[in-house]
Amino acid sequence: MHVHWADPVATVYAPAKLNLFLEILRRRDDGFHEIETLMAPVARWDTLRFEATADPQLTCDSRWAISQNSPEFVAGQPVETGAYHALRELPSSENNLALRAVKRLREAAGVRGGGKIELLKRIPMAAGMAGGSSDCAAALMAANIAWKVNWSRERLATIAAELGSDVPFFLVQQPAVCSGRGERIAPQKNLAPLNFVIVQPPAGLSTAEVYRYCRPTSAPRAVGPLLTAWRAGRLAELGKLLFNRLQAAAEQISPWVWRLRNEFDRYDFLGHQLTGSGSAYFGLCHSTRHARRLASALRGRGFATAMAVTGAT
């Protein structure tokens, strides 16, 4: 995440994520699943602005950027790559994760003031890219700065884990192996840069429904070989080791998943698969140029949402 602060306002650029590896180990007694997953942030950004106020009211104004272009970062500064003149309102509600996050931080830290959240969305919903979780972590970080709470990331992570399984990952700001429900985070360093093409189909998927169709295996795969290939920069090997246990379940529910799998097979991706519980589908590429070429080819085939992205740093 990229954070910019000018008292009393903090702006955080919240990345999407891709699951390069996802194994379901068992169903837990609490109803959740024990997982092992390797998640990587990618340069598809929501923008969250938080302004601290003396008025105790907390509000959230959420909007979609219809152009869906994301900021690019040059020397750590955001450079907008498209116009955002056409915006479509999103309803603000008590179920908004970003709003819930700042309310929970205010309660835990004893803050008396309020604040205004302005959220510009570019990460697709119901796509397995964790836009809501990323916004939630961004809200915690922004309010922590603007309210001058000054909690450490470790302390913020205790609240993040209460709000959602993916939320603690977005406080780490780098690729990580996540286990348990996803809340136990092991950051990974010294990894080669990656490039992807992502396609978001017109229909989303319900995480709960996909998990209902998925059964844990008696012979789970391990993430170690994939990490070894990534650290060594062996991208062709990495592509062959991409894995998502949820994909077979998702293909039973949505014809878009197998349609995208068959479509990506037409091109020279190093590997491709569903991210999370879907419905977004991605392919690993040799380079930025390769990713742009394949994204253009897929758009030419009618997949208008095909986009080339890099790993976020």
Q: Which of 7, 17, 55, 103 is catalytic?
A: 17
pLDDT of residue 218: 86
Model confidence at 2, pLDDT cuts 50, 70, 90, reads confident
3-state secondary structure 64-84: EECCCCCEEEECCEEEECCCC
Degrees to nearest 5, angle at CA 247 with 258 and 46: 95
Catalytic (active site) residue 268: no
Closest CA to 271 of 251, 244, 249, 245: 244
Is residue 264 pLDDT above 60, yes or no?
A: yes
Q: Mind giving me the DSSP string for 97-109?
A: HHHHHHHHHHHHH
Structure confidence by residue, pLDDT tens digits, 10-26: 999 999 999 999 999 98
Find the mean pLDDT for residues 93-121. Answer: 92
Fold of 195-310: Alpha-Beta Plaits (3.30.70)
Find the mean pLDDT for residues 296-306. Answer: 96
Find the mean pLDDT for residues 72-91. Answer: 48
Find the mean pLDDT for residues 51-66. Answer: 91
pLDDT of residue 67: 57
pLDDT of residue 145: 97
Q: Which residue has the higher pLDDT, 78 or 121?
A: 121
Q: Which of 148, 166, 189, 240 is catalytic?
A: 166
Model confidence at 7, pLDDT cuts 50, 70, 90, reads confident
pLDDT of residue 84: 38
Model confidence at 31, pLDDT cuts 50, 70, 90, reads low
- In one letter, which amino acid is 195? N
E strands, the chain, are 2-6, 9-27, 33-53, 58-65, 71-74, 77-80, 87-90, 114-121, 176-180, 184-187, 195-199, 243-244, 271-274, 281-285, 307-310
Q: Which long-range contacts (CB under 8 A, 24 or more apart) does 67-76 make?
A: 68/122, 68/305, 68/307, 69/122, 70/43, 70/44, 70/45, 70/122, 70/309, 71/13, 71/45, 71/47, 72/43, 73/2, 73/13, 73/43, 76/2
User: What are the structural domain ranges in the chain?
Assistant: 2-187, 195-310
Mean pLDDT of the chain, nearest integer: 90
pLDDT of residue 9: 95
d(CA 141, CA 85): 28
Catalytic (active site) residue 103: no
Q: Tokens 């702006």 appear where? A: 11
Measured in residues, the chain has a length of: 313
Residue 253: strand pairing partners: none
**195-310: same fold as 2-187?**
no
Q: Which residue has the higher pLDDT, 121 or 69?
A: 121
pLDDT of residue 75: 46
* SS3 state of residue 236: helix
Fold of 2-187: Ribosomal Protein S5; domain 2 (3.30.230)
Model confidence at 182, pLDDT cuts 50, 70, 90, reads confident
CB 97 within 8 A of CB 136: yes
Torsion angles phi and psi, residue 33, rounded to 5: -110, 140
Structure confidence by residue, pLDDT tens digits, 134-179: 999 999 999 999 999 999 999 999 999 999 999 999 999 899 999 9
- Its pTM stands at 0.91
Residue 52: strand pairing partners: 115
d(CA 158, CA 57): 24
pLDDT of residue 76: 52
> And the tokens for 289?
């140029």
Q: What H or E segment, with its residue span, contains residue 138? A: helix 131-146
Closest CA to 276 of 202, 198, 217, 221: 198
